[in-house]
Structure 1
Amino acid sequence: MSLGQQIGAEFEAFDFPHDTHTYEVFRGGSGPAVLVLHEIPGLHPGVIDFARRLVSAGYTVFLPSLFGRPVVPATGREVARSTLRVCVAREFTKVADRTSPVVGWLRALAASAYGECGGPGVGVVGMCFTGGFALATALEPSVVASVMSQPAMPVPIGHRGRAALGLDPQDLATITARADDDLRVLGLRFTNDRGCPPERFETLRASLGASFEAIEIDSSPGNAAGISPSAHSVLTISLVDEPGHPTRVALDRVLTFLAEQLRR
Protein backbone atom coordinates (compact mmCIF):
# COMPACT_ATOMS: atom_id res chain seq x y z
CA MET A 1 0.00 0.00 0.00
CA SER A 2 1.39 3.42 -0.96
CA LEU A 3 1.77 6.22 1.54
CA GLY A 4 -0.94 8.16 -0.26
CA GLN A 5 -3.31 5.23 0.13
CA GLN A 6 -2.50 5.04 3.84
CA ILE A 7 -3.38 8.70 4.27
CA GLY A 8 -6.56 8.17 2.31
CA ALA A 9 -7.79 7.44 -1.16
CA GLU A 10 -8.90 11.06 -1.49
CA PHE A 11 -5.27 12.28 -1.34
CA GLU A 12 -2.59 12.08 -3.99
CA ALA A 13 1.09 12.73 -3.34
CA PHE A 14 3.46 14.99 -5.28
CA ASP A 15 6.82 16.66 -4.70
CA PHE A 16 6.85 20.46 -4.65
CA PRO A 17 10.28 22.07 -5.20
CA HIS A 18 11.07 25.72 -4.59
CA ASP A 19 14.51 27.29 -4.28
CA THR A 20 16.61 24.81 -2.28
CA HIS A 21 13.73 22.94 -0.63
CA THR A 22 11.53 20.11 -1.84
CA TYR A 23 8.81 18.61 0.34
CA GLU A 24 6.20 15.97 -0.34
CA VAL A 25 2.64 17.29 -0.44
CA PHE A 26 -0.63 15.37 -0.26
CA ARG A 27 -3.51 16.93 -2.17
CA GLY A 28 -7.19 16.04 -1.95
CA GLY A 29 -10.68 17.39 -2.53
CA SER A 30 -11.99 20.20 -4.69
CA GLY A 31 -12.94 23.80 -4.16
CA PRO A 32 -11.00 26.72 -2.64
CA ALA A 33 -7.49 25.87 -1.48
CA VAL A 34 -6.53 25.33 2.16
CA LEU A 35 -3.00 24.49 3.31
CA VAL A 36 -2.93 22.39 6.49
CA LEU A 37 0.44 22.60 8.24
CA HIS A 38 0.95 19.77 10.67
CA GLU A 39 2.20 19.95 14.24
CA ILE A 40 4.93 17.88 15.85
CA PRO A 41 5.49 14.98 15.33
CA GLY A 42 4.23 15.18 11.73
CA LEU A 43 1.25 14.23 9.60
CA HIS A 44 -0.23 12.08 12.35
CA PRO A 45 -3.77 10.62 12.15
CA GLY A 46 -5.36 13.56 14.01
CA VAL A 47 -4.05 16.06 11.45
CA ILE A 48 -5.20 13.83 8.61
CA ASP A 49 -8.68 13.55 10.15
CA PHE A 50 -8.87 17.35 10.31
CA ALA A 51 -7.86 17.54 6.64
CA ARG A 52 -10.59 15.05 5.75
CA ARG A 53 -13.16 17.32 7.41
CA LEU A 54 -12.04 20.12 5.13
CA VAL A 55 -12.26 17.89 2.07
CA SER A 56 -15.80 16.92 3.10
CA ALA A 57 -16.62 20.61 3.56
CA GLY A 58 -15.69 21.31 -0.07
CA TYR A 59 -12.07 22.45 -0.06
CA THR A 60 -8.96 21.43 -1.94
CA VAL A 61 -6.58 20.53 0.88
CA PHE A 62 -2.80 20.62 0.57
CA LEU A 63 -0.96 18.67 3.26
CA PRO A 64 2.80 19.30 3.12
CA SER A 65 4.97 16.86 5.06
CA LEU A 66 7.59 19.18 6.58
CA PHE A 67 9.10 16.75 9.08
CA GLY A 68 8.32 13.48 10.81
CA ARG A 69 6.85 10.30 9.37
CA PRO A 70 3.38 10.63 7.80
CA VAL A 71 0.57 8.49 9.23
CA VAL A 72 2.59 7.42 12.30
CA PRO A 73 0.64 8.11 15.55
CA ALA A 74 1.75 10.94 17.83
CA THR A 75 3.50 8.82 20.45
CA GLY A 76 6.12 10.12 22.87
CA ARG A 77 8.85 8.45 20.82
CA GLU A 78 7.66 10.11 17.59
CA VAL A 79 7.47 13.49 19.30
CA ALA A 80 11.04 13.10 20.52
CA ARG A 81 12.22 11.94 17.07
CA SER A 82 10.64 14.92 15.29
CA THR A 83 11.77 17.40 17.92
CA LEU A 84 15.38 16.36 17.36
CA ARG A 85 14.88 16.74 13.61
CA VAL A 86 13.48 20.25 13.76
CA CYS A 87 16.01 21.40 16.35
CA VAL A 88 18.87 20.92 13.88
CA ALA A 89 16.98 21.94 10.73
CA ARG A 90 18.09 25.31 9.37
CA GLU A 91 14.78 25.98 7.60
CA PHE A 92 12.99 26.45 10.94
CA THR A 93 13.69 29.34 13.33
CA LYS A 94 13.12 28.10 16.87
CA VAL A 95 14.11 30.86 19.30
CA ALA A 96 14.80 34.12 17.45
CA ASP A 97 11.86 36.36 16.56
CA ARG A 98 12.60 36.01 12.87
CA THR A 99 10.79 34.68 9.82
CA SER A 100 11.72 31.04 9.20
CA PRO A 101 13.34 30.24 5.82
CA VAL A 102 10.70 27.57 5.14
CA VAL A 103 8.10 30.33 4.82
CA GLY A 104 9.40 31.08 1.31
CA TRP A 105 8.54 27.52 0.30
CA LEU A 106 5.10 27.76 1.94
CA ARG A 107 4.38 31.01 0.14
CA ALA A 108 5.26 29.38 -3.18
CA LEU A 109 2.94 26.46 -2.41
CA ALA A 110 0.13 28.86 -1.51
CA ALA A 111 0.60 30.78 -4.75
CA SER A 112 0.60 27.53 -6.74
CA ALA A 113 -2.53 26.33 -4.94
CA TYR A 114 -4.29 29.61 -5.71
CA GLY A 115 -3.31 29.37 -9.35
CA GLU A 116 -4.82 25.91 -9.47
CA CYS A 117 -7.98 26.48 -7.41
CA GLY A 118 -8.79 30.16 -7.83
CA GLY A 119 -11.55 31.73 -5.77
CA PRO A 120 -11.23 34.66 -3.36
CA GLY A 121 -7.96 33.30 -2.00
CA VAL A 122 -6.20 30.63 0.03
CA GLY A 123 -6.61 29.55 3.65
CA VAL A 124 -3.74 28.32 5.82
CA VAL A 125 -4.12 26.37 9.07
CA GLY A 126 -1.01 25.98 11.23
CA MET A 127 -0.69 23.98 14.44
CA CYS A 128 1.77 24.20 17.34
CA PHE A 129 5.26 24.33 15.78
CA THR A 130 3.74 25.56 12.50
CA GLY A 131 1.04 27.74 14.08
CA GLY A 132 2.97 30.93 13.37
CA PHE A 133 3.67 29.80 9.80
CA ALA A 134 -0.04 30.22 9.08
CA LEU A 135 0.43 33.95 9.66
CA ALA A 136 3.83 34.22 7.99
CA THR A 137 2.52 32.53 4.83
CA ALA A 138 0.14 35.50 4.49
CA LEU A 139 3.12 37.40 3.09
CA GLU A 140 1.79 35.73 -0.08
CA PRO A 141 -1.02 38.05 -1.26
CA SER A 142 -3.35 35.18 -2.21
CA VAL A 143 -3.63 34.07 1.44
CA VAL A 144 -6.74 35.69 2.92
CA ALA A 145 -7.45 33.41 5.91
CA SER A 146 -4.90 32.33 8.52
CA VAL A 147 -5.77 29.97 11.38
CA MET A 148 -3.14 29.85 14.12
CA SER A 149 -3.87 26.90 16.37
CA GLN A 150 -1.76 27.01 19.56
CA PRO A 151 1.21 28.79 17.87
CA ALA A 152 4.18 27.65 19.95
CA MET A 153 7.15 29.16 18.11
CA PRO A 154 9.38 30.96 18.83
CA VAL A 155 10.02 29.10 22.08
CA PRO A 156 8.28 31.21 24.76
CA ILE A 157 11.30 32.03 26.94
CA GLY A 158 11.09 35.31 28.85
CA HIS A 159 8.51 38.01 28.20
CA ARG A 160 9.92 38.86 24.79
CA GLY A 161 9.79 35.23 23.68
CA ARG A 162 6.30 34.76 25.08
CA ALA A 163 5.04 37.71 23.06
CA ALA A 164 6.98 36.95 19.86
CA LEU A 165 5.29 35.94 16.59
CA GLY A 166 8.33 34.63 14.68
CA LEU A 167 8.38 37.38 12.05
CA ASP A 168 11.00 39.83 10.84
CA PRO A 169 9.88 43.42 11.62
CA GLN A 170 9.34 44.27 7.94
CA ASP A 171 7.35 41.07 7.42
CA LEU A 172 5.16 41.90 10.41
CA ALA A 173 4.61 45.39 8.98
CA THR A 174 3.56 43.86 5.65
CA ILE A 175 1.08 41.53 7.35
CA THR A 176 -0.26 44.34 9.53
CA ALA A 177 -0.97 46.33 6.38
CA ARG A 178 -2.70 43.32 4.84
CA ALA A 179 -4.87 42.98 7.95
CA ASP A 180 -6.17 46.47 7.21
CA ASP A 181 -7.24 45.16 3.80
CA ASP A 182 -8.30 41.57 3.04
CA LEU A 183 -6.47 39.32 5.52
CA ARG A 184 -8.28 37.82 8.51
CA VAL A 185 -6.66 35.78 11.28
CA LEU A 186 -8.17 33.33 13.77
CA GLY A 187 -6.19 32.18 16.81
CA LEU A 188 -6.92 29.19 19.05
CA ARG A 189 -5.34 28.28 22.39
CA PHE A 190 -6.05 26.73 25.78
CA THR A 191 -5.80 29.21 28.62
CA ASN A 192 -3.43 27.05 30.69
CA ASP A 193 -1.11 26.22 27.78
CA ARG A 194 2.42 27.30 28.63
CA GLY A 195 3.55 26.45 25.11
CA CYS A 196 1.27 29.13 23.69
CA PRO A 197 1.16 31.89 26.31
CA PRO A 198 -1.42 34.71 26.45
CA GLU A 199 1.21 37.35 25.62
CA ARG A 200 1.41 35.95 22.08
CA PHE A 201 -2.28 36.64 21.52
CA GLU A 202 -1.87 40.08 23.07
CA THR A 203 0.73 40.84 20.40
CA LEU A 204 -1.65 39.61 17.71
CA ARG A 205 -4.43 41.83 19.02
CA ALA A 206 -2.13 44.85 19.15
CA SER A 207 -0.72 44.20 15.66
CA LEU A 208 -3.84 43.12 13.77
CA GLY A 209 -6.65 44.86 15.61
CA ALA A 210 -10.16 43.84 14.59
CA SER A 211 -8.77 41.52 11.90
CA PHE A 212 -7.69 39.09 14.63
CA GLU A 213 -10.22 36.85 16.37
CA ALA A 214 -9.17 34.84 19.42
CA ILE A 215 -10.70 31.69 20.84
CA GLU A 216 -9.22 30.92 24.25
CA ILE A 217 -10.59 27.73 25.77
CA ASP A 218 -10.67 27.44 29.56
CA SER A 219 -8.25 24.72 30.65
CA SER A 220 -7.67 25.97 34.18
CA PRO A 221 -7.76 23.34 36.94
CA GLY A 222 -11.34 22.33 37.68
CA ASN A 223 -12.77 23.90 34.50
CA ALA A 224 -16.41 23.13 33.72
CA ALA A 225 -15.66 21.04 30.62
CA GLY A 226 -13.14 18.82 32.37
CA ILE A 227 -10.36 19.79 29.97
CA SER A 228 -6.91 18.76 31.14
CA PRO A 229 -4.68 21.64 32.28
CA SER A 230 -2.02 20.17 29.98
CA ALA A 231 -4.25 20.33 26.88
CA HIS A 232 -2.45 21.78 23.85
CA SER A 233 -3.66 20.62 20.42
CA VAL A 234 -7.08 22.23 19.96
CA LEU A 235 -7.99 20.70 16.59
CA THR A 236 -6.41 17.25 16.96
CA ILE A 237 -5.18 15.43 20.06
CA SER A 238 -7.17 17.48 22.59
CA LEU A 239 -10.32 17.65 20.44
CA VAL A 240 -13.46 16.19 22.01
CA ASP A 241 -15.69 15.67 19.00
CA GLU A 242 -19.03 16.16 20.74
CA PRO A 243 -21.49 18.96 19.93
CA GLY A 244 -21.27 21.73 22.49
CA HIS A 245 -17.85 20.80 23.83
CA PRO A 246 -15.57 23.87 23.77
CA THR A 247 -13.05 22.21 21.43
CA ARG A 248 -15.81 21.18 19.02
CA VAL A 249 -17.21 24.72 19.14
CA ALA A 250 -13.72 25.97 18.23
CA LEU A 251 -13.49 23.48 15.35
CA ASP A 252 -16.89 24.56 14.06
CA ARG A 253 -15.77 28.19 14.19
CA VAL A 254 -12.69 27.33 12.13
CA LEU A 255 -14.92 25.82 9.44
CA THR A 256 -17.21 28.86 9.47
CA PHE A 257 -14.24 31.24 9.41
CA LEU A 258 -12.76 29.56 6.35
CA ALA A 259 -16.13 29.65 4.61
CA GLU A 260 -16.51 33.38 5.35
CA GLN A 261 -13.15 34.15 3.78
CA LEU A 262 -12.94 31.63 0.94
CA ARG A 263 -16.54 31.50 -0.29
CA ARG A 264 -17.30 35.20 -0.59
Structure 2
Amino acid sequence: MDALDTWTRSEHTADVVGRPTTHPVWRKGSGPGVVVVHEMPGLTTGVIRFGEELVAAGYTVLLPHLFGPVAREFSNLDVARTMPSICVSREFTKLARGVTTPVAGWLRSLARDLHAELGGPGVGALGMCFTGGFALAMMVDDSTVAPVLCQPSVPFIGSAARAADLNLSPADADVVRRRAGEGCAVLGIRYASDPLVGTRFDTLTSLIGDAFIRVELDGTGHSTVTEQRSQVAVDAVLAFFGERLHA
Protein backbone atom coordinates (compact mmCIF):
# COMPACT_ATOMS: atom_id res chain seq x y z
CA MET A 1 0.00 0.00 0.00
CA ASP A 2 1.32 3.43 -0.97
CA ALA A 3 1.83 5.69 2.05
CA LEU A 4 -0.29 8.38 0.36
CA ASP A 5 -3.22 6.15 -0.66
CA THR A 6 -5.50 7.69 1.96
CA TRP A 7 -4.47 11.26 1.10
CA THR A 8 -6.12 13.46 -1.55
CA ARG A 9 -3.86 14.86 -4.25
CA SER A 10 -4.33 18.31 -5.78
CA GLU A 11 -2.08 21.02 -7.22
CA HIS A 12 -1.32 24.59 -6.24
CA THR A 13 -0.02 27.28 -8.58
CA ALA A 14 1.59 30.55 -7.49
CA ASP A 15 4.37 32.87 -8.58
CA VAL A 16 8.01 31.92 -8.00
CA VAL A 17 10.72 34.23 -9.38
CA GLY A 18 8.18 35.83 -11.71
CA ARG A 19 6.86 32.55 -13.11
CA PRO A 20 3.63 30.67 -12.40
CA THR A 21 4.82 27.51 -10.65
CA THR A 22 2.79 24.40 -9.87
CA HIS A 23 3.53 21.74 -7.28
CA PRO A 24 1.45 18.75 -6.14
CA VAL A 25 -0.11 18.89 -2.68
CA TRP A 26 -1.50 15.99 -0.66
CA ARG A 27 -4.21 16.63 1.93
CA LYS A 28 -5.79 14.73 4.79
CA GLY A 29 -7.67 15.39 8.01
CA SER A 30 -9.97 17.95 9.52
CA GLY A 31 -9.55 20.81 11.95
CA PRO A 32 -7.08 23.72 11.89
CA GLY A 33 -4.66 23.77 8.97
CA VAL A 34 -0.99 22.83 9.03
CA VAL A 35 1.46 22.92 6.10
CA VAL A 36 4.32 20.42 6.50
CA VAL A 37 7.23 21.12 4.16
CA HIS A 38 9.30 18.01 3.57
CA GLU A 39 13.04 17.68 4.04
CA MET A 40 15.75 16.32 1.74
CA PRO A 41 15.55 14.14 -0.31
CA GLY A 42 11.78 14.47 -0.84
CA LEU A 43 8.34 13.60 0.46
CA THR A 44 9.53 10.48 2.27
CA THR A 45 7.45 7.98 4.18
CA GLY A 46 8.94 9.41 7.37
CA VAL A 47 7.46 12.83 6.58
CA ILE A 48 4.14 11.22 5.67
CA ARG A 49 4.09 9.30 8.97
CA PHE A 50 4.61 12.55 10.83
CA GLY A 51 1.76 14.07 8.82
CA GLU A 52 -0.42 11.16 9.92
CA GLU A 53 0.39 11.99 13.56
CA LEU A 54 -0.86 15.52 13.00
CA VAL A 55 -4.00 14.24 11.29
CA ALA A 56 -4.67 11.95 14.25
CA ALA A 57 -4.23 14.93 16.58
CA GLY A 58 -7.05 16.79 14.80
CA TYR A 59 -5.49 18.87 12.02
CA THR A 60 -6.04 19.40 8.32
CA VAL A 61 -2.58 18.63 6.96
CA LEU A 62 -1.14 19.68 3.61
CA LEU A 63 2.00 17.98 2.31
CA PRO A 64 3.36 19.96 -0.65
CA HIS A 65 5.84 18.12 -2.84
CA LEU A 66 8.64 20.50 -3.87
CA PHE A 67 11.39 18.13 -5.04
CA GLY A 68 12.69 14.58 -5.00
CA PRO A 69 10.94 11.20 -4.74
CA VAL A 70 7.51 10.61 -3.24
CA ALA A 71 6.48 7.99 -0.66
CA ARG A 72 9.84 6.25 -0.40
CA GLU A 73 11.84 5.59 2.72
CA PHE A 74 14.76 7.94 3.30
CA SER A 75 17.99 6.92 1.59
CA ASN A 76 21.34 8.58 1.08
CA LEU A 77 21.19 7.47 -2.54
CA ASP A 78 18.04 9.56 -3.04
CA VAL A 79 19.81 12.51 -1.40
CA ALA A 80 22.64 12.17 -3.93
CA ARG A 81 20.18 11.93 -6.80
CA THR A 82 18.12 14.93 -5.67
CA MET A 83 20.92 17.32 -4.79
CA PRO A 84 22.02 18.21 -8.36
CA SER A 85 18.55 19.41 -9.32
CA ILE A 86 18.27 21.41 -6.09
CA CYS A 87 21.61 23.07 -6.73
CA VAL A 88 20.51 24.45 -10.11
CA SER A 89 16.90 25.28 -9.17
CA ARG A 90 15.92 28.95 -9.01
CA GLU A 91 13.24 28.15 -6.45
CA PHE A 92 15.68 27.59 -3.58
CA THR A 93 18.62 29.38 -2.04
CA LYS A 94 21.56 27.23 -1.03
CA LEU A 95 24.53 29.43 -0.12
CA ALA A 96 23.44 33.07 -0.30
CA ARG A 97 23.14 35.02 2.94
CA GLY A 98 20.46 37.58 3.73
CA VAL A 99 18.09 36.20 1.08
CA THR A 100 14.64 34.66 1.45
CA THR A 101 14.20 31.43 -0.48
CA PRO A 102 12.11 32.22 -3.60
CA VAL A 103 9.70 29.32 -3.04
CA ALA A 104 8.53 31.08 0.14
CA GLY A 105 6.08 33.08 -1.96
CA TRP A 106 4.50 29.87 -3.24
CA LEU A 107 4.23 28.49 0.30
CA ARG A 108 2.70 31.71 1.61
CA SER A 109 0.09 31.51 -1.14
CA LEU A 110 -0.71 27.92 -0.17
CA ALA A 111 -1.10 28.92 3.49
CA ARG A 112 -3.31 31.90 2.60
CA ASP A 113 -5.66 29.71 0.59
CA LEU A 114 -5.87 27.17 3.41
CA HIS A 115 -6.59 29.87 5.97
CA ALA A 116 -9.25 31.45 3.75
CA GLU A 117 -10.96 28.07 3.49
CA LEU A 118 -10.75 26.97 7.12
CA GLY A 119 -10.88 30.28 8.98
CA GLY A 120 -9.71 30.44 12.55
CA PRO A 121 -6.66 32.32 13.81
CA GLY A 122 -4.42 31.05 10.99
CA VAL A 123 -2.40 28.01 9.97
CA GLY A 124 0.68 26.24 11.24
CA ALA A 125 3.80 25.73 9.14
CA LEU A 126 6.59 23.26 9.77
CA GLY A 127 9.82 22.97 7.81
CA MET A 128 12.70 20.60 8.40
CA CYS A 129 16.39 20.51 7.50
CA PHE A 130 16.74 22.03 3.99
CA THR A 131 13.26 23.56 4.37
CA GLY A 132 13.53 24.34 8.08
CA GLY A 133 13.80 28.07 7.52
CA PHE A 134 10.90 28.08 5.06
CA ALA A 135 8.40 28.11 7.93
CA LEU A 136 10.01 31.29 9.25
CA ALA A 137 9.71 32.86 5.80
CA MET A 138 6.03 31.87 5.72
CA MET A 139 5.52 33.84 8.95
CA VAL A 140 5.96 37.03 6.92
CA ASP A 141 2.37 36.46 5.79
CA ASP A 142 -0.28 36.95 8.50
CA SER A 143 -1.95 33.64 7.61
CA THR A 144 0.89 31.71 9.30
CA VAL A 145 0.52 32.01 13.06
CA ALA A 146 2.44 28.94 14.28
CA PRO A 147 5.81 28.51 12.52
CA VAL A 148 7.99 25.54 13.51
CA LEU A 149 11.63 25.20 12.46
CA CYS A 150 12.99 21.66 12.77
CA GLN A 151 16.79 21.53 12.39
CA PRO A 152 17.03 24.47 9.86
CA SER A 153 20.16 23.86 7.76
CA VAL A 154 20.23 26.44 4.96
CA PRO A 155 22.28 28.25 3.84
CA PHE A 156 24.70 25.36 3.78
CA ILE A 157 27.44 25.94 6.33
CA GLY A 158 30.85 26.91 5.04
CA SER A 159 31.50 29.96 7.16
CA ALA A 160 30.45 31.40 10.51
CA ALA A 161 28.26 33.95 8.73
CA ARG A 162 26.31 31.28 6.84
CA ALA A 163 26.01 29.17 10.00
CA ALA A 164 24.20 32.10 11.65
CA ASP A 165 22.01 33.08 8.68
CA LEU A 166 18.22 32.62 8.89
CA ASN A 167 17.59 32.40 5.12
CA LEU A 168 15.67 35.69 5.31
CA SER A 169 16.06 39.02 3.59
CA PRO A 170 16.52 42.03 5.90
CA ALA A 171 12.99 43.22 5.04
CA ASP A 172 11.48 39.84 5.89
CA ALA A 173 13.52 39.65 9.10
CA ASP A 174 11.99 43.00 10.11
CA VAL A 175 8.49 41.59 9.55
CA VAL A 176 9.34 38.51 11.62
CA ARG A 177 10.58 40.77 14.41
CA ARG A 178 7.40 42.87 14.26
CA ARG A 179 5.05 39.89 14.24
CA ALA A 180 6.93 38.27 17.12
CA GLY A 181 6.54 41.50 19.06
CA GLU A 182 2.80 41.31 18.38
CA GLY A 183 2.60 37.81 19.85
CA CYS A 184 3.46 35.35 17.07
CA ALA A 185 5.87 32.89 18.67
CA VAL A 186 8.32 30.65 16.78
CA LEU A 187 9.18 27.10 17.82
CA GLY A 188 12.63 25.74 16.99
CA ILE A 189 13.71 22.13 17.54
CA ARG A 190 17.13 20.59 17.07
CA TYR A 191 19.46 17.99 18.49
CA ALA A 192 21.95 20.02 20.53
CA SER A 193 24.88 18.16 18.99
CA ASP A 194 23.73 18.62 15.37
CA PRO A 195 26.35 20.73 13.53
CA LEU A 196 24.14 21.37 10.49
CA VAL A 197 21.98 23.89 12.38
CA GLY A 198 24.97 26.10 13.04
CA THR A 199 24.25 29.09 15.30
CA ARG A 200 20.85 29.93 13.79
CA PHE A 201 19.04 29.40 17.09
CA ASP A 202 21.27 32.06 18.66
CA THR A 203 20.42 34.39 15.79
CA LEU A 204 16.70 33.79 16.32
CA THR A 205 17.03 34.49 20.03
CA SER A 206 18.79 37.76 19.21
CA LEU A 207 16.12 38.66 16.64
CA ILE A 208 12.92 37.93 18.58
CA GLY A 209 13.95 37.21 22.16
CA ASP A 210 11.48 35.28 24.28
CA ALA A 211 9.16 34.81 21.30
CA PHE A 212 11.57 32.11 20.16
CA ILE A 213 10.79 28.84 21.94
CA ARG A 214 13.96 26.82 21.77
CA VAL A 215 13.92 23.03 22.19
CA GLU A 216 17.34 21.36 22.12
CA LEU A 217 17.29 17.59 22.41
CA ASP A 218 19.79 15.35 24.13
CA GLY A 219 21.57 12.64 22.21
CA THR A 220 22.69 12.50 18.62
CA GLY A 221 20.57 12.87 15.55
CA HIS A 222 19.38 15.31 12.93
CA SER A 223 15.78 14.77 11.78
CA THR A 224 13.85 15.52 14.95
CA VAL A 225 10.34 14.40 13.90
CA THR A 226 11.16 11.87 11.16
CA GLU A 227 14.27 9.70 10.79
CA GLN A 228 15.56 10.23 14.34
CA ARG A 229 12.08 10.95 15.68
CA SER A 230 11.97 12.27 19.24
CA GLN A 231 8.74 12.04 21.22
CA VAL A 232 9.85 15.19 23.05
CA ALA A 233 10.00 16.99 19.70
CA VAL A 234 6.62 15.69 18.51
CA ASP A 235 4.99 16.59 21.82
CA ALA A 236 6.45 20.11 21.60
CA VAL A 237 5.00 20.54 18.11
CA LEU A 238 1.56 19.28 19.16
CA ALA A 239 1.51 21.55 22.22
CA PHE A 240 2.57 24.56 20.15
CA PHE A 241 -0.06 23.96 17.46
CA GLY A 242 -2.67 23.25 20.09
CA GLU A 243 -2.04 26.57 21.81
CA ARG A 244 -1.76 28.66 18.64
CA LEU A 245 -4.26 27.21 16.17
CA HIS A 246 -7.41 26.69 18.21
CA ALA A 247 -9.58 29.81 18.43
Instruction: Give your verdict on TM over 0.5.
Output: yes
Counterpart among 216, 230, 234 of residue 224 in structure 2? 234
Q: Distance in 1 between matches of 2:83 and 2:73?
A: 15
1:91-110 equivalent positions in 2, closer than 5 A: 91-97=91-97, 98-110=99-111
Q: CA-to-partner distance for each residue in 1:27-46, whole Å, 9 max, x for gaps? A: 11011110000000111011
Where does residue 208 of structure 2 map in the other structure?
A: 208
In structure 1, list runs of 5 or more residues that go unmatched.
Answer: 220-227, 240-246
Query: Residues 126 and 135 of structure 2 are in contact (CA less than 8 Å); yes or no, is this contact kept in structure 1?
Result: yes
> Which amino acid is the alignment partner of residue 191 of structure 1?
A
Q: Size of the alignment, in residue pairs? A: 242
Give the letter for the 1:156 counterpart. Answer: I
Paired amino acid for 1:262: L
In 1, are the aligned partners of 2:4 and 2:71 still within 8 Å (CA)? no
Q: Give the C-alpha shift of residue 119 in structure 1.
A: 1.0
Deviation string 1:101-153 (CA, Å, 9 cap, x unpaired) is 10010000000010111111110010000000010011111111011000000
Distance 2:29 2:212 in 1: 28
- Deviation track 1:40-98 (CA, whole Å, cap 9, x = no partner) reads 01110110000001111111001000001110111111111111221111110011121
Q: Secondary structure at the match of 2:40?
A: coil
Which of 3, 8, 12 aligns to 2:4? It is: 8
Map 1:178-257; keep pairs closer than 5 Å.
178-197=179-198, 199-219=199-219, 228=220, 231-239=221-229, 247-257=230-240
Tell me the equivalent position of 1:162.
163
Q: Which amino acid aligns with 2:241?
A: L
The alpha carbon displacement at 1:182 in A equals 3.4
Counterpart for residue 154 of structure 2? 153
**CA deviation digits over 1:2-29, x for unaligned, max 9?**
xxx7233431001101122110000110
Structure 1 counterpart of 2:126: 125
Q: Name the aligned partner's letter for residue 249 of structure 1.
A: V
Instruction: State the match for 1:82 in structure 2.
Output: 82
TM-score scaled to structure 2, two decimals?
0.95
Deviation of the 1:100 alpha carbon = 1.0
C-alpha distance in 2 between matches for 1:88 and 1:72: 23
Whole-angstrom CA distance in 1 between matches of 2:218 and 2:83:
27
Report the secondary structure of 1:195's partner residue: helix
Identity of aligned residues (%): 44
CA contact 2:190–2:197 (8 Å) conserved in 1: yes
Match of 1:112 in 2: 113
Q: Structure 1 residue 253: deviation in Å?
A: 1.1
Q: Is the 8 A contact 1:106 1:137 kept in 2?
A: yes
Q: Counterpart of 2:188 in structure 1: which amino acid? A: G
The 8 Å contact of residues 9 and 26 in structure 2, kept in 1 or not, is answered as yes
Q: Is the 8 A contact 1:25 1:63 kept in 2?
A: yes
